[in-house]
Structure 1
Amino acid sequence: MAGKTEVGLVLLGVLVHSAYMLSIFDIYFKTPIIHGMEPVAPRIDAPAKRLVLFVADGLRADKFFELEDDKPRAPFLHSIIHSKGRWGVSHARPPTESRPGHVAIIAGFYEDPSAVTKGWKANPVEFDSVFNRSRHTVSFGSPDIVPIFCGALSNTNWDTYSHEYEDFATDASFLDDWAFDKFQDLLNRSRTESDLRQKLEGDGLVVFLHLLGCDTNGHAHRPYSPIYLNNIRVVDKGIERTVRLMEEIFPDGRTAYVFTADHGMSNKGSHGDGDPANTETPLVAWGAGVRGPSRAKPHQEKEDSFKFVDEHSHHMETPDGWGLKGLERLDVNQGDIAPLMSSLLGLPCPMNSVGVVPTDYLALGKVEQAEVVFANAKQILNQVLRKSDLKQASSLFFKPFPPLLDYSSLLEQIERDIAQGQYESAIESGHNLIQLALAGLHYFQTYDWLFLMTTIVAGYVGWMLYILLHLLKTYSTISFQQNKRNVRVTGNSRRHIRIAGGTLMGVCSIVLLVELAPPLYHVYLGLAVFFWTEVLGDTTSILKVINILFSSKLSWFTKLFAMAATSLLVMELLVQSFFQREVYTAVFVAAGVIGAVAVSWNTPGLSMVPAFVWAACWFLAGFTLMPVQIADNTYLVVGSGLAVVTLAVFARWIDSRQSKLLFWRPLVWGYSRRVDKSWILFALQVSLVVASSMMVWITTSHRENQRKLPMIYQVTNWSISGVSMLLPLYSPRSMLTRLTSIYLGFAPPFLLLSIGYESLFYTALAMVLLSWTLVESAVLFGPSGEIESLPSHDVEEKYSKTRRQSLKLMDVRVAVCFLILINVAFFGTGNVASVASFEISSVYRFITVFNPFIMGALLLCKVFIPFILVTSAFSAVTRLLTLPRFGCYLLVLLLSDVMTIHFFFLVRNTGSWLDIGQTISHFGIMSAQVVFVLILFAITSVYTRDLQCASEQASFDVVSTSKFK
């Protein structure tokens, strides 16, 4: 029965945290895809017949614009900026991934942050775009991008190269040459193929060339590497020869060109978050319908920010090193590029676009500008009106958006201004209407904010109370037994409360059904009602707890208050650590002192172990002072293999000293002559660590020489990792021996997935985990402990009697220590709350050809390995202290939810997108922690379920005990 209860609680916890994690997107972020609207075409003659869109995937703005030895890195495009076109920085929004970036460029709207999980999948919802508004689209490029946007279109010619071309071990600039060559071959064929010529000559043609080289080389070699910088030159030369051929074949001067990027690239070769290196991309436009360059206005030199529609400021002072200081710079939001391209071709803006057409890029008269802005305003307004109609049709208490109640008069005023030739006034009024419409979209996207916030907070609090009552009833020493009268009263009250809860849920569900609310709304409400019904229904338990609190002695109440205050303080420190990793430095500096004192107090005369504890904590404390961006250092990774072996030898030395010190006995209990065979396994594991260090050196040398990684090396690395992770299953059951074997078993894959100082972090974390077990053992079995004071022949008998399946107040420290350690495993070498913190180059020793799923799995494996060490140590400590493992897990869950609620209130949907992305990530991590910890427990239980310690020995050798003494 207990097992079923535990399984039920686990499944319920997964459901709660999964549902409430998704709630953030219902509250703040909903992709604005709306159907049932009419397109709004601008009432102008199209300035261009055809448009060529070049997207250099992963190209940073600064690396493109900056000069190198006083010469531009992209000379052709720089000459365009100086002589023919307009330029600026296009500001992307997180998630700065390829698909969301391209959606913003070609469809004009920003996918919500959950789109990062769909980065390489076709959008499950059809949306309007410049491509399907065009008469015909031609596209060449990556198999991960082109099919997503062209595969379902009937009016398109497209082709891609094979996935095997995307090899991170080589210079990937040839991928861009492939796209240029394919298009130029198509242009040359159009000279002789009349059907093809007809498709290319007509109005409304869009050419899309996706250039993946910079992204691949940025991941593999970093954006400051010669390979990445040379790739920019390759792109520039490819664009130059493409433009020359276009102008040769189509000399009518009716071709427009747009060059940009979907996202940038951080210095560590990653992207995804809101760092300016990822969000700032180049934009260059020229050709038909595009204005020529102009001198920078005096006020622009003083202007220091560019405002997003969400008030996100961007620094826009042009650096001196770009060589563009005197030219006018026109920054845009990435979503503005879609209406820019639509206006150049005279097409309607994509229906779900939230972009604002940048008229300063257009070579149009005032009347045409007014018409373009007016069409743009009506297109965005249509979305608001459609959302308003849908919400009003299903809402019982509809509240419209007040500023747009009289929208028809605003439209009429703009029409009058255009008719009367007051074009400046029409343009200004059109921009004002656009801002009102965007505010209206935000209003309807967050329409259910109050209901959702109230329901979810109530659900979280109810869940925490539900878990707390279960902990007290199942794992505490408090007696909740009831007499028959109490049982009858409790049963009646619970029944009445359940009836009331069911009635409330039924009424609310009917309301939600009438309002056509999403299914998850019913889940949010149902969970909240269920938890509060169960909590309030258990009145006897609540009264029992209240009675105990008020009847307890002052000393116990003081201890309770001190433990609660300390736990909350630590939880708040952990919350702060998500923003400042240096918090862990202070925590482990203090932990080193406390741990050393605790061991010294309980093992007087022994200085080595306290010194080890102190050194281990202070060693780990240094890592959170190091930069998040990990520099490549093969020597350090190889040397870390020696550190792994050294610590393992030290642990074996402790194992061999078990006959000398009593307090180590539970860690090595069960030690016998048979354990000597474990030295064979130990030697094999050490040899695998050494072999993995050698493979780090060999495979890195191959990649640095831009050679493909031979398949034999990849197979070797996979084999070493797989075998090493299986070997701990065959190690002896004694606690310290098994923990050492687990540490050695996961070292090879971690070393092979490391590129710098994070490889040394693995050993530092293991040292602290070993210190934790030593401190707990010393406190429990040292001279100040209850067992040491007994005669030797009573030790085993007494300790066996202390076995318990209950939790005491002081046991909260175990859960607190686990949370500290599991979080430092998150932030010890970076910030995994940021998508861009993942080092994709970590996987190149296993696979170099681009495969997002295998690469993602390897990255998760690297992240999980430190967690496995922490959870294994946690299992050992609970076994050592004979604590109920599931009860401790519930304690961890309860404390985690304190942090989760804090992060829930920190989530933002306005302001800096860097801050927005971080708040979402932080909340998501804490919400997912229940699932992560559950998975970790499941994995580590395979390795630790048969751990043997003193409490589980069936017999006790008195002679051996005498030797201990």
Structure 2
Amino acid sequence: MAGEGILSGGEQRKQQVWRRERWLVALGIVLHAVYLLSIFDIYFKTPIVHGMDPVPQRFPAPAKRLVLLVADGLRADKFFEPESDGRFRAPFLRSVMLEKGRWGVSHARPPTESRPGHVAIIAGFYEDPSAVTKGWKANPVEFDSVFNRSIHTFAFGSPDIIPIFCRGLPHSTWGSYPHEFEDFATDASFLDQWSFDQFYSLLNRSYDDNKLRELLLQDNVVIFLHLLGCDTNGHAHRPYSSIYLNNVKVVDQIAENVYNLVENYFKDNRTAYIFTADHGMSDKGSHGDGHPTNTDTPLVAWGAGIKGPKRLSYNYQRDYNFRFVDDHKHDMPTPSEWGLTSIERVDVNQADIAPLMATLVGLPCPVNSVGNLPLQYLQLNKGEGVEAALANTKEILNQFLRKSQLKQLSSLRFKPFMPLINYSSVLGQIEDFISAHDYDAAMKSSENLRRLSLAGIHYFQTYDWLMLMSTVTLGYVGWMINLVLHILQSYTFLSRNLSVKKNQAPSRGSMMKKIYLTGGLLMGFISVILIIEKSPILYHAYASMTVFLWTRIFSNIQLLKVIWWLLSNRSLKSNLNLLATSALAFFILELLVSSFFERKLYTWCFLFVGVVAAAFMVTFAPHRFLTAAYVLVACWFLSLFTLMPAEIPDNTNLVIASGAFIIIVALSSMWFDATSEGNNFKQLITQSDRNKLKFPVLFYAQVLLVGLSSVMVVLSTTHRAEKRELLVVHQLANWLIAGLSMILPFFSKPALLTRLTSIFLGFAPPFLLLSIGYEAVFYSALALVLMGWILVECTIMCMTKGKEFPFIANLEDKLISRHEESTLNLSHIRVPLAFMVLFNVAFFGTGNFASIASFEISSVYRFITIFSPFLMAALLIFKLFIPFMLVICVFSALTKLLQVPRLGCYFLVILFSDVMTIHFFFLVRNTGSWMEIGNSISHFGIMSAQVVFILLLFALTNIYTKDIEVRSFSSLSRKKM
């Protein structure tokens, strides 16, 4: 009966822990999702405000109509530079730059994706970085644009862009091709020709359709052709390929055809032309981040209202101090090979194009535009130039005034933007200057007022910076303290001491009620203040989450007292051991933070770890010299990959050779398994059934699938390269091989090494089919190091269980017994720390996955070539997750081998991740280069999301590892006796 009572008590405690953990996991997911959004409220609020009147233009429109040509994915250098024979790829547009119009570089802002880029060009403002998630959706937020202000807009192009701006716009005529046309296995330049053909057909129809002709002949008409070919060909073939470079010629030819067609149709010389791109393209065929290859795009303007080229004298002092919208300098001189150093170059921020287009056709500037009107492009007299600049200034000032008004109405203690307190007198002074024809003074005052207005807009966008930063930081700290308390309470012997102390605290229930009542009142008080200030709903979430977390901490006051009592009664040596371990853990985490900026740190890390691990094994287990040598070679082999370029070059032969290497690694693992008889060290991780087949049928089937995947890599790549299309039979075969291979590990033997080998073989075919170069070799290199991790842990286990080595004994925490199964002690911290290192190596071993542009879209072409963003993104993410899954499978197996609680180790992983998250939270910035801004956001986002996708991967890999069988050291010892 006593035994039953103890057992039922233990089961009851397990259920309590399990309930706490489910609640804690759910809380962690919500917390990280909510706090991730805080970055956009702190730094990057979308500048959309409503309730502002447009500012009309007070001088005649220079042009009657506008033609906007956007070459999606065209990077500046590939447009301006000559070919190897000295001829230029865009002869027509080059002649425009030399003879008719103006040119420059338009600098896009991350995320350098199609939707945000087109919003900046057409609406004049930058969506917040979260806009990348809206990608290809129709615009969910109404905002003003040049198209909205036009009398009528004619638009043709991609189904991913045209509907965003024209669907629901009554004064528009538009058309787009089906999604099926966007085939990455073909030359996509025909998409550009399709857009031109639709426009050509429209003009032809107008001769028979009087209503259509009347629409075309109106003033304030905008014609928009979206040319997607360069983007699609850049993704499929890279921007240095002949197909991409030929597409530049196609775009140039279309620009010439449009110009001739429009001039012959209207015959009034009242058309303005703008040619630009929404973003560029990296060398690896991707975009999204702030690298200059993605942000630098061409801009060419000519026609009615546009100045002609300005020739520069030999002694002309070029000013390369163009400033971006965030006021950081750009000082890249014009490359001499462009052949344009004698023609003035006028750079713009991408949002500056919207006020330029609006001014050309006499439209009010979009009311949310933050673009500065580039007057160097406009053919205006001094008075008109000042009027244009003043209209641009008033539009931006109106945004500032509206934001100030809204904030003043909702703030209990409003702090105005002091530099613009007397804005009305400045406006009056500018009007006086204009009346007195003192245009220089009027221009200077107008530009200064516009600059201050932009600064004021930024001031109100970051108005709540200090409050939000403090709230979120306290929230993260509170969450981590809750994690530590849960780990100590649930996975160590601290719970026994706690139960003793609970019996000594009869008034605990009353104290808990007071704490929760205080927390509830504080939460209610803060909510009332936020409601009065009309704060966004997320502000309530940030504050409530933080108050709730700290209320939970103070509700555990008894646990905190127990911890303090135990620490006070520990020996100095034990406390120093605790401090040293914490310092080492913190050092490793800071090293991981630094690795986000410099991948090569992992090279030095694994060179060092290989030497240390090998020296450790040789010193304390000299009879395992070969094992030590294996660990050293595996670590050094993996260290090579972070020296390789992040832009993975295509190398099909290397992918095929990797298939053979994977098979060799698997054969070696099975041989190791087959020779484990009589060796306690080996038998810890090998099969318990000695009457087994040395190489079972399942193993041969998996090896066959790896071989077939290598063959399909050859067939799919060769066929697509020769015929520029992928046969359906190839796609079906690839999907079948990948799907079947991931099912087979379920039927493998449950012994640790056998199951892990089967998992390694099971995920190899899909990884090979998604690989284009050296990352296929990285898969095997990572597996070798993971095997080395297992061998090192087995060595430590044999040493600690078989004989008490002093060095190992000193690593154990005396506070917590190491003889108790399913409990954590201080030395077990090495397991989640090693997991963190290997998990991050899976991130950076084959590139910089902290950058949006690092995802190789060409990786998916053996499964799908028709543009399908969500399926393609799913395949890319799955490829990224495969190495993670290997790491987590080994981690789960090791927790069983070491007999430590897996969820306890998982919570330690989350704790370590959040230490890094807080560091990245303070590294987020909204100033500096676009690359610095984009990387700071992505680093924080990755670490915030890690708690969620690690949990998902744990759940997924648990399907493969839950039935793994491991032998205890004691059972092996008894068997040997």
* Alpha-carbon distance in structure 1 between the residues aligned to 2:548 and 2:504: 23
Moved more, 115-124 or 819-828: 115-124
Task: Answer yes or no: is the 8 Å Cα contact 1:338–1:350 preserved in 2.
Answer: yes
C-alpha displacement at 1:522, in angstroms? 1.0
SS at match of 1:234: helix
Task: Answer yes or no: is the 8 Å Cα contact 2:670–2:694 preserved in 1.
Answer: no
2:951 corresponds, among 919, 934, 938, to 934
C-alpha displacement at 1:786, in angstroms? 3.9
Aligned amino acid, residue 968 of structure 2 = S
1:715 corresponds, among 732, 740, 747, to 732
Moved more, 487-496 or 778-787: 778-787
C-alpha displacement at 1:547, in angstroms? 2.0
Q: What are the Cα deviations for residues 644-691 of structure 1, in whole angstroms up to 9, with x where unaligned?
A: 111111111111121142112221152332x42861000000000000
Q: Please tell me the root mean square deviation across aligned C-alpha atoms, in Å.
A: 1.7
1:435 aligns with 2:435: no
* Alpha-carbon distance in structure 2 between the residues aligned to 1:85 and 1:548: 79
Counterpart of 1:344 in structure 2 is 360
* Alpha-carbon distance in structure 2 between the residues aligned to 1:503 and 1:707: 67
Task: Answer yes or no: is the 8 Å Cα contact 2:501–2:562 preserved in 1.
Answer: no
Task: Answer yes or no: is the 8 Å Cα contact 1:490–1:538 preserved in 2.
Answer: no
* Alpha-carbon distance in structure 2 between the residues aligned to 1:539 and 1:249: 82
What is the correspondence of 1:205-220 to structure 2 with a 5 Å cutoff? 205-220=221-236
Q: What are the Cα deviations for residues 12-34 of structure 1, in whole angstroms up to 9, with x where unaligned?
A: 11011111111000100111111
Aligned amino acid, residue 684 of structure 1 = A
Counterpart of 1:737 in structure 2 is 754
Moved more, 146-155 or 857-866: 146-155
1:633 aligns with 2:651: yes
Counterpart of 1:796 in structure 2 is none
Counterpart of 2:259 in structure 1 is 243
C-alpha displacement at 1:303, in angstroms? 2.8
Moved more, 218-227 or 542-551: 542-551
2:56 corresponds, among 34, 41, 46, to 41
Q: What are the Cα deviations for residues 604-625 of structure 1, in whole angstroms up to 9, with x where unaligned?
A: 3233221111111000011111
* Alpha-carbon distance in structure 2 between the residues aligned to 1:16 and 1:715: 41
2:883 corresponds, among 841, 845, 866, to 866
Counterpart of 1:824 in structure 2 is 841
2:567 corresponds, among 549, 556, 560, to 549
Task: Answer yes or no: is the 8 Å Cα contact 1:34–1:352 preserved in 2.
Answer: yes
* Alpha-carbon distance in structure 2 between the residues aligned to 1:390 and 1:924: 30
Q: What are the Cα deviations for residues 409-453 of structure 1, in whole angstroms up to 9, with x where unaligned?
A: 111111111111111211111111110110011011111111101
* Alpha-carbon distance in structure 2 between the residues aligned to 1:939 and 1:776: 24
TM-score normalized by the length of structure 1? 0.96
Counterpart of 1:59 in structure 2 is 74
* Alpha-carbon distance in structure 2 between the residues aligned to 1:380 and 1:304: 26
* Alpha-carbon distance in structure 2 between the residues aligned to 1:82 and 1:783: 79
C-alpha displacement at 1:491, in angstroms? 2.8
C-alpha displacement at 1:143, in angstroms? 0.7
Aligned amino acid, residue 64 of structure 1 = F
2:279 corresponds, among 253, 259, 263, to 263
Moved more, 113-122 or 201-210: 113-122
What is the correspondence of 1:552-591 to structure 2 with a 5 Å cutoff? 552-591=570-609
Counterpart of 2:376 in structure 1 is 360
Q: What are the Cα deviations for residues 467-506 of structure 1, in whole angstroms up to 9, with x where unaligned?
A: 1111111111222123566332333333222222111111
Moved more, 740-749 or 700-709: 700-709
Task: Answer yes or no: is the 8 Å Cα contact 1:172–1:217 preserved in 2.
Answer: yes
Task: Answer yes or no: is the 8 Å Cα contact 2:334–2:340 preserved in 1.
Answer: yes
Moved more, 717-726 or 487-496: 487-496
C-alpha displacement at 1:301, in angstroms? 4.9
Aligned amino acid, residue 206 of structure 2 = S
Counterpart of 1:793 in structure 2 is none
2:153 corresponds, among 137, 142, 152, to 137
Go from structure 1 to structure 2 and tell me whether the alpha carbon gap of 1:3 and 1:539 turns closer, same or farther (over 3 Å shift).
closer
C-alpha displacement at 1:636, in angstroms? 0.3
Task: Answer yes or no: is the 8 Å Cα contact 1:87–1:330 preserved in 2.
Answer: yes
SS at match of 1:110: coil
Which residues of structure 1 form unaligned runs of 5+? 790-799
What is the correspondence of 1:762-801 to structure 2 with a 5 Å cutoff? 762-782=779-799, 785-786=802-803
C-alpha displacement at 1:952, in angstroms? 10
1:146 aligns with 2:159: no
1:494 aligns with 2:512: yes
Counterpart of 1:412 in structure 2 is 428
What is the correspondence of 1:223-622 to structure 2 with a 5 Å cutoff? 223-296=239-312, 301-478=317-494, 479-483=497-501, 486-622=504-640
Task: Answer yes or no: is the 8 Å Cα contact 1:779–1:785 preserved in 2.
Answer: no
* Alpha-carbon distance in structure 2 between the residues aligned to 1:298 and 1:92: 31
Task: Answer yes or no: is the 8 Å Cα contact 1:310–1:911 preserved in 2.
Answer: yes
* Alpha-carbon distance in structure 2 between the residues aligned to 1:311 and 1:759: 43
Counterpart of 1:28 in structure 2 is 43
* Alpha-carbon distance in structure 2 between the residues aligned to 1:281 and 1:486: 72
Counterpart of 2:930 in structure 1 is 913
Alignment identity in percent? 57
Task: Answer yes or no: is the 8 Å Cα contact 1:685–1:727 preserved in 2.
Answer: yes
Counterpart of 1:797 in structure 2 is none
SS at match of 1:55: strand
* Alpha-carbon distance in structure 2 between the residues aligned to 1:944 and 1:155: 60
Aligned amino acid, residue 405 of structure 1 = I
Go from structure 1 to structure 2 and tell me whether the alpha carbon gap of 1:624 and 1:504 turns closer, same or farther (over 3 Å shift).
same
C-alpha displacement at 1:705, in angstroms? 1.7
Task: Answer yes or no: is the 8 Å Cα contact 1:103–1:111 preserved in 2.
Answer: yes
* Alpha-carbon distance in structure 2 between the residues aligned to 1:148 and 1:679: 56
* Alpha-carbon distance in structure 2 between the residues aligned to 1:590 and 1:489: 54
Counterpart of 2:118 in structure 1 is 102
Counterpart of 2:12 in structure 1 is none
Go from structure 1 to structure 2 and tell me whether the alpha carbon gap of 1:432 and 1:747 turns closer, same or farther (over 3 Å shift).
same
Task: Answer yes or no: is the 8 Å Cα contact 1:585–1:622 preserved in 2.
Answer: yes
* Alpha-carbon distance in structure 2 between the residues aligned to 1:87 and 1:880: 66
C-alpha displacement at 1:291, in angstroms? 0.4
Task: Answer yes or no: is the 8 Å Cα contact 1:42–1:347 preserved in 2.
Answer: yes
1:12 corresponds, among 16, 27, 32, to 27
* Alpha-carbon distance in structure 2 between the residues aligned to 1:300 and 1:152: 50
Q: What are the Cα deviations for residues 119-177 of structure 1, in whole angstroms up to 9, with x where unaligned?
A: 11122110000001000000111111111111111111111111111111111111101
C-alpha displacement at 1:956, in angstroms? 7.0
Go from structure 1 to structure 2 and tell me whether the alpha carbon gap of 1:301 and 1:841 turns closer, same or farther (over 3 Å shift).
farther
Aligned amino acid, residue 765 of structure 1 = L
Which residues of structure 2 form unaligned runs of 5+? 1-14, 807-816
1:814 aligns with 2:840: no
Counterpart of 2:206 in structure 1 is 190
Aligned amino acid, residue 641 of structure 2 = F
* Alpha-carbon distance in structure 2 between the residues aligned to 1:127 and 1:603: 70
Task: Answer yes or no: is the 8 Å Cα contact 2:282–2:294 preserved in 1.
Answer: yes
Go from structure 1 to structure 2 and tell me whether the alpha carbon gap of 1:282 and 1:801 turns closer, same or farther (over 3 Å shift).
closer
C-alpha displacement at 1:550, in angstroms? 2.3
SS at match of 2:718: helix
Aligned positions, number: 949
SS at match of 2:175: strand
Task: Answer yes or no: is the 8 Å Cα contact 1:312–1:913 preserved in 2.
Answer: no
Aligned amino acid, residue 311 of structure 1 = D
* Alpha-carbon distance in structure 2 between the residues aligned to 1:486 and 1:298: 90
Aligned amino acid, residue 65 of structure 1 = F
1:875 corresponds, among 892, 907, 911, to 892
SS at match of 1:125: coil
* Alpha-carbon distance in structure 2 between the residues aligned to 1:956 and 1:43: 92
Task: Answer yes or no: is the 8 Å Cα contact 2:680–2:972 preserved in 1.
Answer: no
1:904 corresponds, among 902, 921, 931, to 921
Task: Answer yes or no: is the 8 Å Cα contact 2:66–2:273 preserved in 1.
Answer: yes
2:673 corresponds, among 645, 652, 655, to 655
SS at match of 1:93: coil
C-alpha displacement at 1:703, in angstroms? 2.0
